[in-house]
Amino acid sequence: MIDPVDLSVDPVARWAFQQANDAFVVFDRRNGQITQLNPAAALLTGRSPVTACGTPVASLFKVAPTNGHTPWGTTSAQEFGAVLGLLDGREQPVRVRLCPLPAHTAPLTLAILTPCPPEPPGTVVRPELSPWLGAVDQLSVGVVLCDARDPEVPILHVNPAYRRMVDWEDSSLGRPLLGLRTDDPSRILLRQALREQRAFQMEVAHQRADESENWLHLSVAPVGAAPGPASYLLITAIEITGQRQSAEELRHQRSLFQAALESLPVQVWMRDEEGRGVVQNLGSIQTWGDVRGQLLQNSPLAPEVVSRWHENIHRARRGEVVRRQVRHTIGFSPRAFEEIVAPLWHENRIAGVIGVHIDITERMELEDTQRRHTEILQNIVEHIPLMLVCLDSNHQVIWGNAVLENTLGWSIDELRRQDRTPELYPDPGDLARVHEHMREANAIWRDFQTRTRDGRSIHTTWAGVRLSDGSLLAFGNDITERVRTEHALQSLNTRYRLASQYGRVATWESWGDSTTCAVDPILFDWLGYPPRTERLLWAEWQSYFHPDDWERAMQVALAYWKREIPDYNVEMRLRHRDGSWHWFLSRGCLIPGMDGEPARMCGAIIDISDRKSHVNAPPEHPSPSCAQ
Identify the CA nearest to 136 among candidates 151, 167, 157. 157
The per-residue pLDDT for 543 is 93
Q: Where are the beta strands (DSSP E) in 481-557?
A: 505-511, 516-519, 536-537
3-class DSSP assignment, residue 587: strand
Percent of all residues in the chain with a pLDDT value above 90, rounded to a whole number? 20
Q: Report yes or no: 72 and 107 within 8 Å, Cβ to Cβ.
A: no
d(CA 41, CA 562): 80
Answer for the pair 520, 529: CB distance below 8 angstroms, yes or no. no
CA pair distance 430, 421, nearest whole angstrom: 10
The reported pLDDT for the residue numbered 123 is 47
> Which of the listed ranges 107-116, 170-179, 609-618 does the model predict with the highest average pLDDT?
107-116
User: What is the phi/psi pair of residue 596, to 5°?
Assistant: 85, -10
Task: Put the strands of the sheet holding 472-478 in their side by side order.
Answer: 397-400, 387-391, 472-478, 457-466, 446-451
CA 625, CA 628: separation in Å to the nearest integer?
5
Beta bridge pairs of residue 337 = 326, 359
**The pLDDT of residue 44:** 84
Q: What's the rounded Cα separation, in Å, for the pair 424 and 430?
A: 10
Alpha-carbon distances of 115 from 77, 94, 270, 575, 594, rounded to whole Å: 19, 4, 86, 66, 75
E strand intervals along 273-424: 277-280, 322-330, 333-346, 349-359, 387-391, 397-400
**78-85 and 91-100 as β-strands: parallel, antiparallel, unpaired?**
antiparallel
Query: What span, in angstroms and rounded, lies between the C-alpha atoms of 295 and 401?
Result: 60
Q: What is the mean pLDDT of residues 130-137?
A: 74
* Cα–Cα distance measured from residue 271 to residue 354, given in angstroms and rounded to the nearest whole number: 7
CA distance 582 to 605: 12
- Tell me the percentage of the chain whose pLDDT exceeds 70: 86
Who wins on pLDDT, 50 or 502? 50
Across the chain, mean pLDDT equals 82
Residue 197 CA to residue 466 CA, distance in Å, equals: 32
Lowest mean pLDDT among 194-198, 308-312, 418-422, 572-576: 194-198
Distance CA 177, CA 107 (A): 39
| Other CB atoms within 10 A of residue 451 CB | 17
Phi, psi of 179 (to 5 degrees): -95, -5
Nearest to 519 by CA among 469, 582, 574: 574
Q: Which of 569, 567, 564 is nearest to 552 (CA)?
A: 569
Name the residue with higher pLDDT: 80 or 574: 574
Segment 203-212 shows an average pLDDT of 80
State the Cα–Cα distance between residues 245 and 203, nearest whole angstrom: 13
pLDDT of residue 129: 65
Position 486 confidence tier, pLDDT thresholds 50, 70, 90: confident
User: How much is the pLDDT for 120?
Assistant: 44
Q: pLDDT value at position 568?
A: 92
pLDDT tens column, 594-611: 888 888 899 999 999 888
User: How does strand 472-478 pair with strand 333-346?
Assistant: unpaired
Is it the case that residue 529 has pLDDT exceeding 70?
Answer: yes
Q: Could you tell me the CA-to-CA distances from 181 to 58, 175, 186, 204, 241 in Å, in that order? A: 32, 12, 10, 10, 18
User: What does the pLDDT average to over 62-67?
Assistant: 57
pLDDT at position 65 is 59
Give 600's contacts (C-beta < 8 A, 6+ positions apart).
509, 510, 511, 512, 590, 591
- From the list 440, 485, 437, the residue with the least C-alpha distance to 461 is 437
How would you class 144 by CB atoms within 10 Å of its CB: exposed for 0-12, middle for 13-18, buried for 19 or more? buried
Question: What is the per-residue pLDDT for 105?
Answer: 61
Q: Is the pLDDT confidence value at 547 over 90?
A: yes
pLDDT digits (tens, 9 = 90+) for 187-202: 777 777 777 778 888 8
Are the CB atoms for 85 and 60 separated by under 8 Å?
Answer: yes
Do 500 and 506 contact (CB within 8 A), yes or no? Answer: yes
Predicted confidence at residue 258, as pLDDT, reads 46
Section 377-390 average pLDDT: 86
Average pLDDT over residues 159-164: 88
Stretch 109-131: mean pLDDT, rounded?
A: 65
pLDDT reported for residue 581: 94
Q: Say what the pLDDT of residue 122 is.
A: 41
What pLDDT, on the 0 to 100 scale, is given for residue 267?
A: 84
- In terms of Cβ atoms closer than 10 Å to its own Cβ (0-12, 13-18, 19+), residue 41 is buried
Count of CB atoms situated within 10 Å of the CB of 145:
21
Round to whole Å and give the CA distance between 179 and 159. Answer: 19
Which value, in Å, is the radius of gyration of the alpha carbons in the chain? 44
Cα separation, 81 vs 61, whole angstroms: 10
**Given a cut of 80, is residue 8 above it in pLDDT?**
no
How confident is the model at residue 450, as a pLDDT?
92
Range with lowest mean pLDDT among 80-89, 532-541, 579-588:
80-89
Q: State the pairing for strand pair 213-223/200-207.
A: antiparallel
Most confident of 79-83, 152-156, 453-457: 453-457
- 34-53: average pLDDT: 86
Three-state DSSP at 145 gives strand
pLDDT for residue 623 is more than 60: no
pLDDT band, very low/low/confident/very high, at 47 (cuts 50, 70, 90): confident
Residue 66 has a pLDDT of 47
**Confidence label for 263 from pLDDT (cuts 50, 70 and 90):** low
- Check: CB of residue 106 under 8 Å from CB of residue 28: yes
Inter-residue contact 283 to 266 (CB < 8 Å): yes
Alpha helices in 273-360 (DSSP H): 282-288, 303-317
pLDDT digits (tens, 9 = 90+) for 435-444: 999 888 888 9
- Sequence-distant (6+) residues with CB within 8 A of 353 are 270, 271, 312, 313, 316, 317, 341, 342, 343, 344
pLDDT higher than threshold 50 for residue 1: no
